[in-house]
Structures are given as C-alpha cells and as structure tokens.
C-alpha cells in the first residue's frame, strides 16, 4: 500500500511572529524542523494581504527546503507571477476572501474557468504539481479533471467540525469517500486538509485513496504543549 504523505502547514508560526512584529518565531526554522521530523512536504499560504507568510518567507523557505514546498495561492495574476518565479514543486490553488479568518470552503470551479485553466497549465509547464482545493462533491472532482489539475485537495472543514462537536459525521464521511473513489478512478491524486486534529485525521486515514494530508492550525497549536514545559525549564536554568 502507498504511504500516506504528511504536509505540514506552518502559516501560524508566521501568525505568532507577526502578532508582535518581531523576527521570531521563524517560519524558516519551523520548515526545517518539519523536514527533520519526517514531514513529506511543507505548506505555506501566501495570502494577498500577507497576514502570515510573506514574500521573504517564501523565498527563504523555497531556497533552503529539500522536501517539496507546497505553495497555496489564490488564482490571481499576482500570485501566478509569484508562483512561476519561485517555481515550487507543489502548488495548491485555494479560494481567498479578505475578511475570512481561514479558507472557508472549496473553490468555485464555475467561476473564472478559463483563467483557472490558464493558471494550471502555466504552472504545469514549469513542472509544478497542481492541486485544486475543493468541496467533497462529485461534480467538482470531474470539473477539476477537466481543468487539467494533477490533484484535488478535499476541504475537510465540515467533517472536522462535526467530529469536534461530537455530531453525526457519517453523511459527510460518505461524501468524502465517494469523492475519493471518483477522484482516484479518473486519475487524480486526492489529498485532504483543513481543520484536521488527531481524531479526524485518524478517521480519515482509514479512507483508502487519500494520498496526502495537509495539517496546520491544530498541529502548530498542539506543538505548544509538546514544547512549553521544556522552554519553562530552560528559562528557569537561565535565571537561576
Ligand atoms: N489545506 C488547505 C488547502 C488550506 O487552505 C489549509 C488552511 O490554510 C489547510 C490545508 C490546513 O488547515 P488547518 O490549518 O486547519 O490544519
């Protein structure tokens, strides 16, 4: 059986850095640590408003990282130009709204179809693997294939919310499974991401055919608890 890959999204290391306008914590350091710890790729989302990852982060991470960088971008001329310039191994096209806290849903594949196709083909010509972030529905899977994407990433937000709230997630899980089966059948690589925790990732890891998970917010938050005690002890040694 093919190994499931883990992409580590480090956007929120930059969120913490930017909250104080300092140079730390460094997203580059987090990217290198993710690589050393067994991540299969590192994901960053360069947003139009640069609220977390910025252009310098992109440049330094893309230069230093040995595992693939997965660059998430909105389908705009500005982002296309940036992606073509830096030529990351992986690109994931995501919807973007200025006022949203996070990427709230999948792409609307009926909107700007010709432009999307152009973006995908230009990136593929430069040998980037192109993924589209979509809702788990059959129509969008078919549309992604027609647009010539290599992969789809299924937005797991709704599923994860149901799991977190201990609500019935069976229908949503079924929708995801059906999307995965169809995606694989028509030759798309299928990924999953958004809102994943230990529990939701465990459930979805049992779905055959998902080749990659991209996980950020929970993983970065959880790492506080894996590291807080050791940092406190170090400060105690320093000031003793
Ligand atoms: N995959 C995509 C395409 C995303 O846009 C995001 C969030 O930016 C993630 C995965 C990671 O989601 P989370 O931070 O909730 O784990």
* CA 221 to centroid of chain Cα atoms: 16
Q: Return the bridge partners of 43, or none.
A: 9, 70
Q: Check residue 41 and give its pLDDT.
A: 98
Q: Whose CA is nearest to atom 9 of ligand 1?
A: 194
How far, in Å, from the CA of 221 to the mean position of ligand 1?
A: 14
Residue whose CA is at the smallest distance from ligand 1 atom 6: 194
* Site to substitute for ligand 1 among 102, 156, 220, most atoms within 8 A of C-beta: 102
Annotated active-site residue 155? The verdict is no
Distance 198 CA to ligand 1 centre (A): 15
What is the pTM (predicted TM-score) of this model? 0.96
- For a ligand 1 pocket test, name from 10, 41, 72 the mutation site with the most ligand atoms within 8 angstroms of its C-beta: 72
CA distance readout (Å), 175 to 17, 104, 178, 197: 37, 18, 5, 19
Residues with CB under 6 A from ligand 1: 9, 45, 72, 92, 94, 102-103, 133, 153, 193-196, 214-218
Residue 156's pLDDT is 98
pLDDT for position 105: 84
Compute, in angstroms, the gap from residue 153 CA to the centroid of ligand 1: 10
**pLDDT confidence of residue 111:** 87
Q: To test the ligand 1 pocket, which listed residue (91, 194, 221) has its Cβ within 8 A of the most ligand atoms?
A: 194
Q: Output the CA 104–ligand 1 centroid distance in Å.
A: 10
Q: What is the pLDDT of residues 59-83, one digit of tens each?
A: 999 999 999 999 999 999 999 999 9
Q: What is the pLDDT along the chain (240 residues), one digit of tens a residue?
A: 678 999 999 999 999 999 999 999 999 999 999 999 999 999 999 999 999 999 999 999 999 999 999 999 999 999 999 999 999 999 999 998 777 777 778 999 988 899 999 999 999 999 999 999 999 999 999 999 999 999 999 999 999 999 999 999 999 999 999 999 999 999 999 999 999 999 999 999 999 999 999 999 999 999 999 999 999 999 999 999
Residues 44/72, Cβ–Cβ less than 8 Å: yes
194 an active-site residue?
yes
Task: Return the pLDDT at 225.
Answer: 97
CA-based nearest residue to 123, from 141, 149, 103: 149
Q: What does the pLDDT read at residue 1?
A: 62
Q: Is 53 left (phi over 0), alpha (psi -120 to 50) or beta?
A: beta
Kindly give the distance from the C-alpha atom of residue 219 to the centroid of ligand 1, in angstroms, as a whole number. Answer: 11
Q: For 90-101, how does the pLDDT look when each residue is reduced to its tens digit (9 = 90+)?
A: 999 999 877 777
Whole-number Å distance, alpha carbon 215 to ligand 1 midpoint, is 6
Q: How far apart are CA 164 and CA 29, in angstroms?
A: 30
Please tell me which residue in 72, 153, 189, 212 is annotated as part of the active site. Answer: 72
pLDDT, tens digit (0-9, with 9 covering 90-100), for 187-212: 999 999 999 999 999 999 999 999 99
- Which is nearest to 93 in space by CA: 122, 63, 57? 122
The CATH number, out of the four listed (3.20.20.70, 3.90.1170.50, 3.30.1380.20, 3.30.565.10), of the domain defined by the range 5-239: 3.20.20.70
Q: Does 45 participate in catalysis according to the annotation?
A: yes
């Amino acid at each position: 059986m093919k190994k499931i890959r883990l992409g580590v999204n480090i956007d929120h290391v930059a969120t913490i850095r930017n909250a104080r306008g300092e140079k730390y914590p460094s997203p580059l350091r987090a990217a290198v640590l993710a690589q050393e710890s067994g991540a299969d790729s590192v994901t960053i989302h360069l947003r139009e408003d640069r609220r977390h990852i910025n252009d310098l982060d992109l440049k330094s991470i893309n230069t230093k990282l040995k595992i693939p960088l997965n660059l998430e971008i909105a389908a705009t001329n500005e982002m296309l130009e940036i992606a073509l310039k830096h030529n990351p191994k992986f690109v994931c096209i995501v919807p973007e709204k200025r006022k949203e806290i996070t990427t709230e849903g999948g792409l609307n594949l009926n909107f700007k179809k010709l432009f999307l196709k152009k973006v995908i083909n230009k990136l593929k010509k430069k040998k980037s693997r192109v993924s589209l972030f979509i809702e788990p529905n059959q129509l969008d899977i078919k549309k992604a294939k027609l647009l010539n994407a290599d992969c789809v990433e299924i937005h797991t937000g709704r599923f994860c919310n149901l799991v977190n709230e201990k609500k019935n997630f069976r229908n949503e899980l079924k929708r995801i499974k059906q999307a995965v089966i169809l995606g694989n059948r028509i030759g798309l690589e299928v990924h999953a991401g958004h809102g994943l925790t230990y529990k939701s990732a465990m459930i979805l890891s049992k779905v055959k055919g998902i080749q990659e998970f991209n996980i950020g917010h929970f993983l970065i938050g959880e790492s506080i608890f894996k590291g807080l005690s050791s940092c406190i002890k170090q400060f105690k040694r320093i000031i003793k």
